[in-house]
Structure 1
Amino acid sequence: MAVEDRFSRDFRETLSDRPLGTRNEVITGPVSDWATDFSHTEPEWAADPYPIQDDLRQRCPIAHTDRFGGGWLPTRYEDVSAIAYDTERFSSRAIIMSNFRPPRELAPIGGAPPISSDPPFHHDARKLLLPAFTKSAVARREQATRAFCHSLIDAMEGQDVVDAAHDYAQHIPVRVIADMLGFPPEDGPRFREFVENALEGVNRPPDERIQRMETLFDYLYAQIRDHVDNPRDDLTTYLMNAEIYGRKLEPSHVAGTMSLLLIAGIDTTWSAIGASLWHLAKTPADRERLVAEPGLLPTAMEELLRVYAPVTMARLVKEDMHWRGVDMKADDWILLSFPAANRDPAQFDRAGEVVIDREVNRHAAFGLGIHRCVGSHLARMELRVALEVWLERIPAFSLEDPSAVTWAPGQVRGPRTLPIRIR
């Protein structure tokens, strides 16, 4: 069977394994009580989830919902951390909370290794990626990233108002990841479409999700075929030649890892860049201080990552159990909110404030446990360079219309439209 045909079969089985039934019918619509009916896909969550999380942390630190077939939302740092480190009771075979679950047989590899992998396979799948994301490997990409950021700002010449999300933040990780994987840079608009389909389309009907994901994997397999015909020195070729347990990776493993890098590596970073620019545009004191003290930027950047952490991951409960006061059922979702953990006053002083010179900052923006982001060095470089270039070239800027800013719904939150006045 052709690789593409096998993937299509497996993917359809994944989505259809758990039929939509009474537990899965209610997905969208107004939330009656966030403690018993939460939904991270609702507009009010996308617009400003922090008051909701703060309220839950006080009165119901592990919220529940019957939506998505049943799930839980811990909001305390200690609970989020405990689940992230507990691979015995919580599985990573699905990391996007939606209205269906992949079959248990998909573990321990999952559809997008290593982020979807459980031990012991996870360790070996993650180890394969480490050489591409070391500090030294990332440093070699900084010059090109900086030049690209300058070119984006050059293109804004003569404009009084720009969309800092669409015209700046969203382009940077697209170019970096495309270069790493050896994909055509002109395919950037397609990457943004893939991101939206995977992360923001969780409430679409299963057949539509299947079709959209097949479009992504058709693209990835086309890139693999092109690399077979035209080998070059990039991450795709590396993955195609890599071995695990003495054998080359299965094509589905290669494509799954490519999908992880393409989707997670892009949306998380552009969201962090956009949120940081949004904060500086609305907070003149912080913006002016960073312009005057550029050496403070690495410290400020960590604080912006803490306060506006873009990523929430999902886990699945392995077996029925009583956990910290709640009765969890097998295959219940756990929405692992690193943004909520990062604003827990039991863990951080002045947790809800942005303190750009905060010295001790053990935030969870890149996750916790074995799945901590393998690309954190790359993301930090992109964020730092993006902010350095912007502040150097555009030291004075402000929000054109705060009400016009829109935020992505779902598990990766960042500005999707960000009108900024630069003149």
Structure 2
Amino acid sequence: MSADDRFGAELEETRRARQIGTVSEIVTAPVSDWATDFSHVDPEWTADPYPIQDELRQSCPIAHTERFGGMWLPTRYEDVASIAYDTGRFSSRAVVVSNVRPPKELAPVGGVPPISSDPPFHHDARKLLLPAFTKSAVARREAATREFCHSLIDAMRGREVVDAARDYAQHIPMRVIADMLGFPPEDGPRFREFVESALESVNRPPEERLERFTKLSDYLVAQIHDHIEHPRDDLTTYLIEAELGGRKLDPAHVVGTMTLLLVAGIDTTWSAIGASLWHLARTPADRERLVAEPGLLPTAMEELLRAYAPVTMARLVKDDMRWNGVDMRADDWILLSFPAANRDPAQFERAGEVVIDREVNRHAAFGLGIHRCVGSHLARMELRVALEVWLARIPEFELADPGAVTWAASQVRGPRTLPLRIG
């Protein structure tokens, strides 16, 4: 069987297998009690989750809901870290909460390895990706990233108001990831659709989600076929040729990893850049200080990552158990909120404030445990360069309309629209 045929046949078999899961009832009613009926896609949470998290941390540090078939929300750093490191009792086979739980047979690989993989498979799957994300590999992408940021700002000339999320932040990781994977840069708008379908449709009917994921996997398979016919020096060709245990990766592994890189690699950085610009637009003192002291930016950037950590991961409980005073059932979701952990006063002084010169800052924005973000060096480079170029070119800016800012209703939180006045 040719490589093309292998990818087509095996992926279709895997796609059918993933339809066999546990489907839960779709609940869209507004939240009435955050301790017993929370929802991370509720409009109030989407607009501003931090007061809710702070209140829960004091009154009910491990909240529960029957939405999505049963889910827990720990809000203390200690609890979030404990679950993140405990691979024995919590599985990573699905890291995005939805109304469908994938079958247990997907473990230990999961749908998007290595982030969805459990030990011992996880170790080798993660190791495969490390060479592409070392500091030296990332450094080679900085000049092109900087040039691209300048080109985006060049395109804003003459405009008084721009959407910093849609006109700037989202394009940067799209271009970087497209270049890494060897995808056409003009496909950027399609990437945005894939990201939003994967992360913001979790409470949609399962058949609709399957249709959306099919579009994404079909796109990736087309790219794989093109790379098989025309191999080149990029991450897609590397994954096609990579081996684990003396054999090439299963097609589902290749497509799953590419899905992870495309979706997570774009939305996390898009959200971090947008949230940082949102903060600086509404906090003139911090903006003015960074313009006057550009050397402070790396420190300030870590604080912005702590305060506006974009990523919340999920785990699934492996077996019925009592954990930290609550009775968890097998296959309950755990919403692992790194943003809540980052604002725990027991872990950080002045946890609810943004202190751009904070010196000690062991935040969890890139996760904790074995699944700590493999692309953290890349994300930091993109965020730093995006802010350096913006502040140098547009030192004065403000929110054009605070009420017009919208945020993603998903486990990756960042501005989806961000109108800034720059003229």
TM-score range, shorter chain: over 0.9
Residue by residue over 1:157-194, the C-alpha shift from the partner in whole angstroms, topping out at 9 and shown as x without a partner, is 00000000000000000000000000000000000000
| Number of positions where the alignment pairs a residue of Structure 1 with one of Structure 2 | 419
SS at match of 1:382: helix
C-alpha deviation, 1:17, in angstroms: 2.2
What is the aligned partner in structure 2 of residue 411 from structure 1?
411
What is the aligned partner in structure 1 of residue 19 from structure 2?
15
Residue by residue over 1:26-78, the C-alpha shift from the partner in whole angstroms, topping out at 9 and shown as x without a partner, is 42221120000010011111100000000000000000000000010000000
What is the aligned partner in structure 2 of residue 314 from structure 1?
314
C-alpha deviation, 1:16, in angstroms: 3.3
Identity %: 80
SS at match of 2:39: coil
What is the aligned partner in structure 2 of residue 74 from structure 1?
74
| Contact kept? 1:110, 1:116, Cα under 8 Å | yes
| Contact kept? 1:8, 1:214, Cα under 8 Å | no
| Contact kept? 2:6, 2:251, Cα under 8 Å | no
Determine the C-alpha separation between the residues in 1 that align with 2:29 and 2:191: 29
What is the aligned partner in structure 1 of residue 10 from structure 2?
6
What is the aligned partner in structure 1 of residue 211 from structure 2?
211
| Contact kept? 2:96, 2:313, Cα under 8 Å | yes
SS at match of 1:303: helix
Residue correspondence of structure 1 range 212-231 to structure 2 within 5 A:
212-231=212-231
| Contact kept? 1:242, 1:248, Cα under 8 Å | yes
Residue correspondence of structure 1 range 204-353 to structure 2 within 5 A:
204-353=204-353
What is the aligned partner in structure 1 of residue 104 from structure 2?
104
SS at match of 1:35: helix
What is the aligned partner in structure 2 of residue 124 from structure 1?
124
User: Alignment RMSD, CA only?
Assistant: 0.9
SS at match of 2:36: coil
SS at match of 1:162: strand
| Contact kept? 2:90, 2:315, Cα under 8 Å | yes
Tell me which amino acid in the other structure corresponds to 2:21.
D
1:93 aligns with 2:97: no
1:338–1:160 CA distance, 2 compared to 1 (3 A) = same
SS at match of 2:335: strand
| Contact kept? 1:14, 1:101, Cα under 8 Å | no
What is the aligned partner in structure 2 of residue 369 from structure 1?
369
| Contact kept? 2:73, 2:335, Cα under 8 Å | yes
* More displaced 10-residue stretch of structure 1: 8-17 or 190-199: 8-17
Determine the C-alpha separation between the residues in 2 that align with 1:203 and 1:117: 24
Tell me which amino acid in the other structure corresponds to 1:303.
E
Determine the C-alpha separation between the residues in 1 that align with 2:202 and 2:193: 14
Determine the C-alpha separation between the residues in 2 that align with 1:395 and 1:298: 17
C-alpha deviation, 1:5, in angstroms: 4.4
Structure 2, gaps ≥5 residues long: none
Determine the C-alpha separation between the residues in 1 that align with 2:349 and 2:220: 45
| Contact kept? 1:27, 1:99, Cα under 8 Å | no
**Structure 1 stretches of 4+ moved >6 Å:** none
Determine the C-alpha separation between the residues in 2 that align with 1:221 and 1:210: 16
